């Protein structure tokens, strides 16, 4: 079955949720890493910055933990930039788990693919919509290395300068900053920012 092209980035809880969605859609899927989001200022800053550029979809589990994470995201992102989607509460257990979750409901990873497709279908597009479409730049770790943003003496300072230019917090790791840049900039925008910083 052909993958849905989702024009807005989707925020999910964990990597298994991301794996499930990535098998169904073409688009950006970002994990909160569960409750780690509460301490991860880099990730929260990325979500805020991303929401300035495009609306974002939140799709967390339908249990108490999912509600707490959803609430935390909603407190950080303006209401008009947030698309709240919900999976139904279905009793069951994910195949990879040995026991039921605390509340006994399936998470995003365990919900039937057709249900997820139905939830996301209204937000699919042809991939060429300007409104809300985010640029996914082909910026690689090699680019970061060649541009002095990783592996060099002054790489940390250069990353801080780039992060500041993008409205992100300083002291981001190379991998975290790369993920943010790929979402926030086209390749040309990235190169132009570096030119201005040098």
User: Would you state the structure tokens that stand for residue 177, as one six-digit string?
Assistant: 């900053």
Based on DSSP, count helices (H) and strands (E) in the chain, helices before strands.
8, 6
pLDDT attached to residue 149: 95
pLDDT attached to residue 128: 40
Query: Is 134 a domain residue?
Result: no
Co-location of 24 and 91 in the same domain: yes
Query: Is 132 a domain residue?
Result: no
Co-location of 85 and 160 in the same domain: no
Counting the structural domains of the chain, the total is: 2
Query: Is 97 a domain residue?
Result: yes
pLDDT attached to residue 101: 63
In sequence order, the 6+-apart residues with CB closer than 8 A to the CB of 127 are: 5, 7, 26, 133
Average pLDDT across each block of 10 residues of the chain; the chain has 198 residues. List them in order: 89 94 92 91 88 92 88 91 86 71 80 91 62 59 94 92 82 81 83 92
Determine phi and psi for 84, rounding to 5 degrees: -90, 115
Domain with 51 in it? 4-123
Domain-ending residue, one of 92, 123, 154: 123
Other Cβ atoms closer than 10 A to 57 = 23
> Residue 102 and residue 74: Cα distance in Å, rounded?
24
| Residues of the chain by 3-state class (helix, strand, coil), percent to 5 | 50, 10, 40
């Amino acid at each position: 079955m052909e993958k849905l092209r989702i024009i807005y980035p989707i925020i999910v809880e964990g990597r298994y949720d991301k794996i499930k969605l990535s098998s169904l859609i073409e688009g950006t899927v970002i994990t909160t890493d569960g409750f780690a989001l509460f301490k991860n200022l880099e990730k929260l800053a990325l979500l805020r910055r991303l929401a300035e550029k495009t609306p974002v979809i939140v799709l967390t589990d339908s249990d108490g933990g999912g509600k707490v994470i959803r609430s935390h995201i909603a407190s950080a992102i303006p209401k008009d930039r947030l698309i709240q989607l919900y999976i139904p509460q279905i009793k069951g257990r994910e195949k990879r788990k040995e026991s039921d979750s605390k509340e006994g409901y399936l998470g995003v990873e365990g919900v039937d693919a057709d249900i997820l497709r139905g939830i996301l279908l209204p937000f699919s597009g042809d991939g060429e919509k300007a409104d809300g479409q985010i640029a996914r730049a082909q910026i690689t770790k090699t680019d970061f290395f060649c541009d002095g943003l990783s592996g060099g003496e002054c790489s940390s300072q250069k990353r801080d300068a780039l992060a500041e230019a993008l409205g992100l917090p300083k002291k981001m790791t190379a991998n975290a900053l790369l993920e943010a840049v790929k979402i926030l900039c086209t390749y040309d925008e990235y190169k132009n920012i570096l030119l201005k910083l040098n």
